């Protein structure tokens, strides 16, 4: 699993050193959801999501770091989906 940050409007991935890339292979891997969410919050990144990748794009899981209730519900749903995927591997 990789934990990436993607800009919602542009679709670009954070590549490190305040740069962005269109290629997810070149994106900075934060290794954990917590690190990616913390980085986005600490650096006041808005309009981004954390993308957990599992090889094939169809298994990607996108989570929003924004603290709105709807976003919180999406995060919980995403965690449940992730746990379900892990159980099936």
Q: Identify the pLDDT of residue 67.
A: 60
Q: How far is CA 29 from CA 21, 39, 59, in A?
A: 13, 12, 17
Is 69 a residue whose pLDDT tops 80? Answer: no
Closest CA to 50 of 32, 68, 70, 77: 32
Domain count, the chain: 1
What is the domain extent for residue 59?
A: 2-88
Q: What is the per-residue pLDDT for 8? A: 92
pLDDT above 90 (res 53)? yes
> Are 24 and 13 spatial neighbours (Cβ–Cβ below 8 Å)?
yes
Instruction: Kindly list the distances between the CA atom of residue 8 and the CA atoms of 3, 26, 85, in Å, as whole numbers in the listed order.
Output: 15, 17, 24
Side-chain-side CA neighbours of residue 74 (13 Å):
14
């Amino acid at each position: 699993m990789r934990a990436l940050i993607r800009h919602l409007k542009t679709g670009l991935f954070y590549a490190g050193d305040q740069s962005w890339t269109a290629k997810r292979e070149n994106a900075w891997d934060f290794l954990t959801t917590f690190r990616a969410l913390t980085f986005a919050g600490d650096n006041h990144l808005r309009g981004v999501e954390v993308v957990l990748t599992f090889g094939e794009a169809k298994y990607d899981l996108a989570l929003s770091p924004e603290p709105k209730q709807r976003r919180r519900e999406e995060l919980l749903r995403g965690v449940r989906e992730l746990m379900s995927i892990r159980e099936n591997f």
